[in-house]
Amino acid sequence: MTRYYEDVQPGRELSALDKGPITPAHIMRWSAAVENWHRIHYDQTFAKEHDKLPDILINGSWKQHVLVQLMKDGLGPDGWLWKIQFRYKRMDVAWDALKGNAQVVEKREADGLGFVACRIVLLNQRDEVSTAGVGVGVLPLKGGRTVPYPFVPKPDYPVFALAAD
């Protein structure tokens, strides 16, 4: 369903998602899907003894797609995720349960489109920050034009002064 610029407000949630516990099977499925054979993601003996890690690690490369999904789903099929920036704040290991949240911080109109800046975060089951960042999306205005696709940013589009952490 279309989400319009007028539907989102600073201080409100844009979207949330819950990926639940990420088991060794989930981590292996990701490693296989992208053909990343780094052993810290599936070989527990190697992860603990060679890299001195507490357990096999959830891939940062997987977590970035979760942040993208969080913003994309919040913006809906007629919106566009323009920018995302993020930093990994802690390691997540097998059986950690990750959930994401995007909060609208600021919004502005330009060029007949609505620009929305959000703080985005992934938390573990102890509500510790796994990954934190900022997402900027583009939404149509009610009665306005559609968000162009492909999206070609113009130099005078809004710049939001939000740091990733």
Residue with Cβ nearer another protein (18 or 127): 18
Residue 65 C-beta: closest distance to another protein, Å: 4
Residue with Cβ nearer another protein (150 or 155): 150
Q: Which helix (H) or strand (E) holds 73?
A: helix 60-75
Rounded to whole angstroms, how far apart are CA atoms 96 and 66? 14
Residue with Cβ nearer another protein (53 or 106): 53
Q: Which residues of the chain form contacts with another protein (CB under 8 A)?
A: 19, 26, 29-30, 32-40, 43, 46, 50-51, 60-62, 64-66, 68-69, 72-73, 77-78, 80-88, 133, 146, 149-153, 164
Residue with Cβ nearer another protein (43 or 55): 43
Rounded to whole angstroms, how far apart are CA atoms 60 and 81? 20
Rounded to whole angstroms, how far apart are CA atoms 142 and 109? 12
Residue 154 C-beta: closest distance to another protein, Å: 12
The pair of three-digit structure tokens given for residue 51, joined into one six-digit string: 């890299």
Rounded to whole angstroms, how far apart are CA atoms 46 and 43? 5
Residue 136 C-beta: closest distance to another protein, Å: 9
Rounded to whole angstroms, how far apart are CA atoms 128 and 110? 36
Residue 146 C-beta: closest distance to another protein, Å: 8
